[in-house]
């Protein structure tokens, strides 16, 4: 049984292991390590209380207990670094269907010591037909770069804070540009849905991502004067169509339209019908219509 380290000794041991990375470390108190990445960059504070509690139960497992922390800090120093100001101002949510475009080795973080960790994303829908996620990206000067866990940890140690901030950035784009609604005419449809767009035609890749912004969906519901909510389809990244009609026939029509538009898209997202009320997602519906019923 190895000799038990006290909190100060434990902190020094972890800091020594972290010193292998090219970052400045500060230990202001036991069980706390600050990682300083440089001028105009945030400071990552590592709280070791929980880790030390686990160590006290199994001192012989110290290397294994510390390894996940070392790996995560390693992610923050690997690869290309984005400035904190850019991540703060230009991080945005981007829709993606993993059934059509699966994660590659780099995106899963399986590229060895050079990895920046897994791709940053949140699950939306995972069913047999499609696996829809919100992928977080850095979008600046019309260039879209994927963001990884190491990017987020370096700039926003709290994942929930980062997610909210990316959605807030998209909301700011809506406020700056404004939205348009135009009728999307479909032959033999009882009612034409509305196609949502940004004024000026910019940021088209983020149109389907508007479903992540409750204020936007709530405003669309109010604009279409539908107290019962909205139906929406997001067949591709650059298409968001909504309707205030919620009857069964419209659901079927919207589902068929989503399937067709998704099949034609280079950046497909979803063939489902999404239901929103008061800005919040309430249901995702699969449309199952037999071939003889589609004629």
Give me the residue spans of the domains in the chain. 7-77, 84-171, 177-293
97 or 287, which is more confident:
97
- Return the pLDDT at 157: 72
- pLDDT for the residue 294: 36
Assign 89 a pLDDT band (cuts: 50, 70, 90): very high
pLDDT band at 188 (very low <50, low <70, confident <90, very high): confident
Higher pLDDT, 294 or 1: 1
Nearest Cα to Cα of residue 253 among 201, 193, 208: 193
**DSSP, residue by residue, 38-79:** -TTS-EEEEE-HHHHHHHHH-GGGHHHHHHHHHHHHHHHHSS
Per the CB < 8 A criterion, the answer to whether 129 and 271 are in contact is yes
- For 140-149, write each residue's pLDDT tens digit: 988 999 999 9
pLDDT score of 293:
37
CA angle 205, 275, 236 (to 5 degrees): 20
pLDDT of residue 289: 55
Residue-averaged pLDDT of the chain: 91
pLDDT over 90 percentage in the chain: 79
Given this model, what pLDDT does residue 291 score?
42
CA distance 239 to 228: 23
Q: State pLDDT tens for residues 104-114.
A: 999 998 887 78
pLDDT in tens, 34-77: 999 888 888 899 999 999 999 999 999 999 999 999 999 999 99
Mean pLDDT of 177-203: 90
Q: Give the pLDDT mean for 107-127.
A: 90
- pLDDT tens sequence across 24-36: 999 999 999 999 9
- Give residue 181's pLDDT band: very low, low, confident or very high (50, 70, 90): very high
Tally the residues of the chain. 295
151 phi and psi, to 5 degrees?
-65, -45
């Amino acid at each position: 049984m190895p000799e038990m380290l006290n909190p100060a000794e434990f902190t020094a041991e972890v800091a020594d292991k972290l010193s292998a990375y090219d970052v400045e470390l500060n230990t202001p108190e036991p069980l706390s390590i600050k990682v300083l990445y440089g001028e105009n960059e945030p400071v990552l504070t590592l709280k070791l209380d929980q880790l030390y509690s686990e160590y006290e139960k199994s001192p012989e497992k110290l290397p294994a207990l510390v390894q996940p922390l070392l790996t995560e800090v390693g992610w923050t120093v690997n690869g290309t670094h984005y400035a904190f100001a850019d991540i703060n101002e230009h991080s945005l949510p981007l829709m993606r269907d993993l059934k059509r475009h699966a994660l590659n080795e780099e995106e899963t973080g399986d590229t060895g010591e050079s990895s920046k960790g897994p791709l940053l994303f949140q699950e939306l829908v995972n069913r047999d037909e499609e696996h829809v996620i919100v992928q977080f990206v850095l979008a600046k000067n019309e260039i879209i770069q994927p963001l990884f866990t190491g990017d987020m940890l370096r700039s926003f140690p709290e994942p929930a804070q980062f997610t909210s901030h990316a959605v807030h950035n998209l909301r700011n784009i809506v406020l700056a540009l404004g939205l348009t609604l135009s009728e999307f005419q479909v032959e033999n449809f009882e009612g034409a849905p509305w196609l949502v767009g940004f004024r000026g035609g910019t940021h088209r890749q983020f149109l389907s991502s508007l479903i992540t912004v409750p204020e936007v969906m709530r405003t669309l519901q109010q604009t279409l004067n539908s107290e019962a909510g909205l139906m929406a389809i997001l067949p591709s990244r650059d298409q968001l169509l909504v309707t205030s009609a919620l009857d069964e026939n419209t659901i079927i029509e919207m589902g068929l339209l989503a399937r067709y538009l998704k099949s034609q898209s280079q950046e497909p997202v979803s063939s489902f019908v999404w239901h929103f009320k008061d800005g919040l997602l309430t249901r995702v519906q699969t449309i199952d219509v037999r071939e003889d019923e589609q004629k």
